[in-house]
Chain A
Amino acid sequence: MQFPIISVIVFIPILAGLLILLIPSDRKTEIRVTALAAAAFALGLSAWLYFSYDLGVGGYQFVEQYTWLKELGISYHVGVDGMNVPLVLLTGVVMFTGVLISWGVDDRPREFFAFLFILATGVFGVFVALDMFMLFFFYEIAVFPMYLLIVIWGWKVSREYAAMKLTLYLFIGSVIALVGALAMYFASNLGTFDMIALEGAGFSAGFQKFWFPFVFMGFAILGGIWPFHNWSPDGHVAAPTAVSMFHAGVLMKLGAFAALRVGIMLLPEGAKFWMPFIILLTIVNVVYGAYIAMVQTDMKYVIGFSSVSHMGLVAMGFATLNREGMIGAGVQMFSHGVMTALFFAVVGMIYDRAHTRQIPELGGFSKKMPFVTIAFIIGGLVSMGMPGFSGFVAEFPIFMGVWKFQPWIAILASISIVITASYIIRIISKVFFGKMPEAYADHIHDVTVLDKVALALLAGILVIVGVYPSIMVPLVESGVDNILRLLGGA
């Protein structure tokens, strides 16, 4: 038997989390070191997984399957293909950098890391799941710890409201999708939750058209689709830095990915029927999200709404149902995850020092924190879709795909690029290069080495994917081929 690498990646975080809970709460250094070691291990393994995926062979690799409940056909079934392996890597990256950034968490770090790692296990589990029951199982494990993480360690002003709102939104989505999944299970008459088997279930067109919106929208809520997006900026803002990184960087991908995996891939006819409608929703996401981001004065809200806008592009890419759009969306999930993790990390660093996130009150941080400035600018360029950065690799194909579907939508959506440029440049010019207010000048210090390592890793990835897209695009393409096969080569 081969080394069960996927299971190891999935269960390392939760085991580390339980181990951390056993450490006495006053030994904070040991807690942090354990957390970092586990995160580094998980990152290493997910990178190894990413680079050892064999493109020549294709399909699902490193597959493991164990019976979980025979009577109902539930199994623990995992595997990676070109679509989800970048997301596993993304989770590894965000987890590792998240631990680095959270070194300074001083209120009950033990519980903080334990909950964060339980969440990480849930995320890994969803990305690699090939069984629908298992997907839901891990999906809810991934969503729930957010509540505690936000409510306990979040921003005091809005955390209780935001955490409850987020949790209720996401769970309503997930339980609605669950009913849809159960309907699929019984309608297939296959007696299995295995998604590869269900792909061939041949649901009737009427069934698919009826259930698709429930399943797709149920998950897409977590992907931030309009008009169910408004839990997301509130949640981002209230969450502590590492959780915002996880939340925007990884969790929103969870929604988009699950909507793709269960919605589009299992109900392709439904997808074809509803997609024009979904595209209309995503236009609102993309343009309106960017516009709202532009008028915010709180940096974190800017980034939060920019996530809504960028995640709209992911959903739009999927909704085109063509090769270009899907490839773009696949890369965008990774690129946006890394980029937004970087943004939130930077915002967190600034807030820790200035104790405000109001753009008009900030200024001149480039002199004190040159390294952070460079990292943020790289992220900003990615966000604007500048060639040479991963954002271009992702967004250009999406617009190509949309153009193929309907040129005027592409034109409309591309307005968002201009708006994005405006709010990113505003932050850069005001916060980093403006004049630093007197009040801060004395007590602002540069960030720690750990923070720099985290930022360097995130920014480095964005540049590497940008200048050398072949490291990711062929992989995603192979995953997209599989989806297009299910869609009947649309």
Chain B
Amino acid sequence: MSESIDLTMTLALLPEILLLVLAGLVLTFDLIWSEDRKRSLGWLTAGGLAVTLVVSMIFARPGEQAIFVWGGMLRYDWLGFTFQMLFLFGAALTALLAMDVKELGSRGEFYILMLVSTIGMSLMVSSADLIMLYLAIETTSIPMYVLAGFFKQDNKSTEAGFKYLLFGAMTSAIMLYGFSLLFGYAGTTDIYNLAFAIQAGAIETIPLMGSLFLVLVGFSFKISAVPFHFWAPDVYEGAPTPIAGFLSTASKAAGFGVLIRFFMAAFPTISTEWSNIIAIVAVATMTLGNFLAITQSNIKRMLAYSSIAHAGYILVGVATATPLGMTSVVFYLIIYLVTNLAAFGIVFTFWRTERSDEIKSYDGFSRRAPGLGLAMMVAFLSLAGMPPFGGFIAKVLVFAAAVNADMVWLAVIGVLNSIIGLYYYLIVLKHVYLYRTDADEKPVPVAVPARIALIILTFGIVLLGVAFAPWFHWSTTAASILF
């Protein structure tokens, strides 16, 4: 392919380029700076990500028309761009939250691995080619395996890293097999050309559905959909909390970005079949996630099951395969990222002082730290789908999409599930607000960077829930690329 590198191609990769430069900078300063200054790498990472975000927003906005760049490897469009901005935001806040725990925030590797993983996610959501997609997924996952096991001294963390690795490797191999079958049948690795091949009837239904299943396995792992959700609670529990937060938001969003692009692009003609499959997966995912969340006594495990349940709600939007449904998916992910990062951030801040993740240890939390208690309430109520927080409008939209697509039954199951969700979020709030402990007076200090991050997130949750029009508009733009 004789193609010269022009400006558009560079702009399409601008976020990734800047991320790579930033990773290089962090690596350099990690070598130069002395141990006690290394905490400032967090400022560098967060600041660098913020700059990347702003610069990309100004210069690298895609046009109305999607363009294939880099020999058809990437598709430069609003869908990918929206998700990339989301990852940058999530990574910046994760860096801020993690800064003030010594064994995490003072280690250069932590930031570098996170940045590399973010590069992988950015490429994932704009891949237009199976090979590119696979490479991007691995670029995302491998640093994550390391990050999940980052606390080497902690058996649970090591277990988390190893478990994540085994599960990830297995599902990724299955997915790769699916990719190879698709290539074998259609003779192309380009996702959009695959679509033509399918429409032309080049693949019989049964082999097609078979390969589709295999691919779905890989994606389901990424978004922790049932029955590939088993890793999530163990990994979230063992991994350092900011990493668990990052995994459950940015990484999951990346999975959804790929899922909707891949299926909407590659399989428009068989959408009824896969709609039904996804709907069933959605029901199983949210119901199982919600029911298991009720019984948890560890808050990180509870949040893990809750994030499985949320994957189920988002899948409701995916299952509709309508423009409104896809909009609601993107919109839901934006809100979910902000909300869940806040939830994990508060859990992490609490852990920093208490070194405990038991829900019981949150007794008297609102007396000890009224501000944090309030932030926690905001985050949890948003997860429960309560106005005026973002979670409400997000849920209304996915269920609206289901009703719109004549899947009222799915909407009904969804809303009933959200009641179960409400139950266990309220249980946590009861510990925070009602119960008392002997340590009522002991404050919970919040480091400055974490404070900044939590303030941004808490206000973000309210902002998304009240002034939702611009975000909805943005999501519509992103989703319209799929049709």
Contact = CB atoms under 8 A, between A and B. Distances in A.
A144 interface: yes
Interface of A: 21, 25, 67-72, 108, 111, 133, 136-138, 140-141, 144, 147-148, 151-152, 160, 164, 167-168, 171-172, 175-176, 178-179, 182-183, 185-186
A168 B419 contact: yes
A167 B476 contact: no
Contact of B416 (A68, A69, A172, A186): A172
A70 B370 CA distance: 37
Given A140-B386, A178-B396, A183 B403 contact: yes
Contact of B387 (A137, A148, A151, A176): A137
B291 interface: no
27 contacts: A68-B468, A68-B469, A72-B472, A137-B387, A141-B386, A147-B426, A147-B429, A148-B429, A148-B433, A151-B430, A151-B433, A152-B433, A168-B422, A168-B423, A171-B419, A172-B416, A172-B419, A175-B415, A176-B412, A178-B396, A178-B399, A178-B415, A179-B399, A179-B408, A182-B404, A182-B411, A183-B403
Contacts of B469: 67-70
Interface in B262-286: none
Contacts of B362: none
Please list the 9 inter-chain residue pairs (A to B) with the smallest Cβ-Cβ separation, ordered nearest first: A175-B415, A182-B403, A137-B387, A69-B469, A182-B400, A186-B404, A140-B387, A179-B411, A151-B434
Contacts of B423: 164, 168
Interface in B414-435: 415-416, 418-419, 422-423, 426, 429-430, 433-434
User: Most chain-A CB neighbours within 10 Å: which of B367, B403, B429?
Assistant: B403
A136 B396 CA distance: 10
A186 B403 contact: yes
A71 B381 CA distance: 26
Interface residues of B, number: 33
B386 A144 contact: yes
Contacts of B386: 140-141, 144
Nearest to A141: B387
Contact of A167 (B388, B400, B426, B434): B426
Interface string B441-483: 0000000000000000000000000001100110010000000
A137 B388 contact: yes
A71 B476 contact: yes
Contacts of B429: 147-148
Nearest to B423: A168
Given A137-B388, A182-B403, 9 more contacts: A71-B476, A72-B400, A140-B386, A164-B426, A167-B426, A171-B422, A176-B412, A179-B415, A186-B403
B422 A185 contact: no
Contacts of B416: 172, 175
Nearest to A178: B415
Contact of B408 (A137, A148, A183): A183
A25 B370 contact: yes
A264 B434 CA distance: 40
A152 B374 CA distance: 14
B392 interface: yes
A146 to B, nearest CB: 11
Interface in B72-110: none
B387 A175 contact: no
Contacts of B415: 175-176, 178-179
Contacts of A111: 366, 370
B403 A71 contact: no
A125 to B, nearest CB: 10
B399 A141 contact: no
Contact of A137 (B366, B367, B392, B430): B392
Interface of B: 366-367, 370, 374, 381, 386-388, 392, 396, 399-400, 403-404, 408, 411-412, 415-416, 418-419, 422-423, 426, 429-430, 433-434, 468-469, 472-473, 476
A152 B434 contact: yes
Nearest to B412: A179
A152 B430 CA distance: 8
B392 A140 contact: yes
Contacts of A144: 381, 386
A172 B469 CA distance: 27
A88 B366 CA distance: 33
Contacts of A133: 396
Contact of A71 (B366, B412, B426, B472): B472
A50 B84 CA distance: 52
A70 B408 CA distance: 24
Contacts of B388: 137, 141
A472 B185 CA distance: 77
Contacts of A70: 469
B400 A185 contact: yes
B430 A160 contact: yes
Contacts of B411: 179, 182
A395 B84 CA distance: 62
A137 B38 CA distance: 46
Contacts of A167: 422, 426
B403 A175 contact: no
Contacts of B400: 72, 182, 185-186
A182 B396 CA distance: 9
Contacts of B433: 148, 151-152
B419 A21 contact: no
A148 B373 CA distance: 13
Contacts of A21: 374
Contacts of A152: 433-434
Contacts of B434: 151-152, 160
Contacts of B404: 182, 186
Contacts of B374: 21
Contacts of B370: 25, 111
A69 B403 contact: no
Given A151-B430, A152-B434, A182 B399 contact: yes
B395 to A, nearest CB: 9
Nearest to B381: A144
Given A21-B374, A141-B388, A183-B403, A175 B419 contact: yes
A206 B418 CA distance: 29
Nearest to A142: B387
A152 B434 CA distance: 5
Nearest to B418: A175
A183 B472 CA distance: 21
Nearest to A138: B387
A30 B472 CA distance: 41
Nearest to A179: B411
A7 to B, nearest CB: 14
Contacts of A25: 370
Contacts of B476: 71
A21 B458 CA distance: 15
A72 B422 CA distance: 26
Contacts of B408: 179, 183
A75 B473 CA distance: 15
B317 to A, nearest CB: 14
A358 to B, nearest CB: 26
A92 B419 CA distance: 31
Contacts of A160: 430, 434
Contacts of A137: 387-388, 392
Contacts of A185: 400, 403
A51 B367 CA distance: 44
B472 A69 contact: yes
Nearest to A153: B434
